[in-house]
Every structure is written in C-alpha cells, then in structure tokens.
Structure 1
Amino acid sequence: MARHRVRWVESGGGPLIAVPETVLPFWAGAEGDETASDYDRACEIDGPVGLLPVGDGAALVLGDEPAATAYLPDHATFVRRYAADSEADVLSAVPAALATAEWEKEVRWKVPGPVHLFDSARPGTDPERSDPLRVTLPPGPYAVRAAWTRPGPETWLGLVQLRALER
C-alpha cells in the first residue's frame, strides 16, 4: 500500500454521511424547519450502510455505531475504527480484513463525482463546521458492500467497500 496521510473523520454521536459534492447545498443536517431533519433521516438507516435521496442524487450513510472513519483509496474502502491499539494496527490489518470479511448485501450507488464524508448532523453548506473529508471518485455506478471484521484480538473494524460498475 502506498504511504499517504490518512485522515480520520469522527461524528458527535450520529452517523457519518458521504454526500456528492454536486448536492452538498441540499444537505441541511440537523437544521431546518421540517418535522424530520436530514440528520433524523440518516439516523433511521438500519444497518451498516444505506442511501438517502439528496437533491437529485443520493448520499451514502455509514450507519450502526459511530466510529472514526478514513477512506483508503488503494482499497476503495471506508475503514471504520471500532477498536485498535493504534492507527498502524488498523492499517496493517486492512488487507487481511478485506480478504476474510463476511459481506452484507450490496447497495447500488450512482456517484456524479467527488463526495464529502462528514458528520450527518452538520449542514453540507458549511465546510468550516462540517470539516469534511473530500473523496475523489470517478463518476458512475458503484456497488457498495459492508462488513464487520475482527482481524486481531484488539482490532475491530468496519469496512465499506466501493466497487465501480460498468456503465
């Protein structure tokens, strides 16, 4: 794996969300006058991943428990750190975790280009407040699958892998 700086995104307690850059202005987070905010909709996702309509696109919700999450482009995978002694332990465990994971059912996600990963309670229009991680993805359809793994006695990870599909 190429060495690059890994940036972790954390939430204040709710799910993280990957919103396509083209529809960021339409994500209101926990703000708004509606009876159910975008954040409330994200919290209703049952399982490790789900899709929510945003503008004329869809956002990917990383559900279940909140966990520090990074995107590893070499593996096209969001890695969620539930327990580990160090970042080095997490990163060294990823290849084995990917090889032995028992994957949940895939979802199909149409991505128009780069996405921003951030706390779903934050609005997409305020990058200073949401502190997003920008993930560059080529436009197109993706199969998204998720798994919980325990590659070591002290290392528990969630994996959300993206696989580009033919158009």
Structure 2
Amino acid sequence: MRLPKAPLAAVLLLGCVAGCTSSGSGSHKVSVFAVKPGQCFTAPGTVKVQLSSLAEVDCSKPHTQEAYAVVPYTATGGAASTGTPAARALTSSYPGEDVLTTFAQGACAQRYRGYVGVDYLDSTLFFTYLLPSARSWEQQADRNVLCFVTTTGTMLTKSVKGSKQ
C-alpha cells in the first residue's frame, strides 16, 4: 500500500511504517491487506512511503489511529472494483495516485460520521487513509482504500467508534 500525497498524509506517516516490530507496548504486526475497522495502531520510530504492515495495539492502550473503513475503489461510472467481470474491467489499470487520492478523500469523509457519530467537520479528530500502490494493484489485485481516524495531539486510549469526538 502507498501513502497518499495529501495534507493528512503526514499524520498517517507518523503512525505507520513497513516492518513495524512488536515491542513492550503490546503491539504486533498486521498486514495492510488484513486491516479491519475497529483495529487500533501506534506510531513507529521511522517512516517509509510504502508499507506492508502496521503495529496494532488493543484500543484501550495508547494509540494514534483507528481503522474505520475499508473501501473498494469505485471507477468513474460507479462500478465497484470487485464483483462482476465488467466491474473489474473498469479498474484493471492502475488509475494513478491523483485519482485514488480524490476517491479516498470523498469515500473516507462519507464514512466518518457512520463510525465516529459526528460529521468530520464537527469532529476534534482527523482522518487519513492508505492507498493501493501501483505494485500492490498489479501484483495483488489490491483495490481497497483504508480509512483511519487519527489524532495529532493527545494519544487515544479507547475506541472512537460512536464517541462523537
């Protein structure tokens, strides 16, 4: 998965990196291809543009991000990237980072209220996302955008689901 080039990308860079290792904080590696809503993650010590795993912790432990949506990329024309052969054909070629970024910003913003319980514009938290890289798109048929609630200040110590923060 590739990190987006967007203002909120810097926030995610603080929280994720390939090769996160398990530490005394109770974290363990989770493949970016296995992330599910409700999982919480901690910040690593170093930053990379592409990553393959995240350091997951229990949401009751200090963390900086919580996954809240896994959204299949939808090509122009509205066909989901998964499902019928016709739908998959619309997304067989990597659409590029700009197209994926625009899609991710809209898709993650739309799903924010349903998870946190308050509109993004009224929230004290932020969101960011991970995009499929050209490599994961071609080699692993990766079409999912991962959406994360994140903080730039105080660490989170519980799930933000339904918190209305």
TM-score (norm 1): 0.28
Say which structure is richer in strand: 1
Say which structure is richer in helix: 2
TM-score (norm 2): 0.29
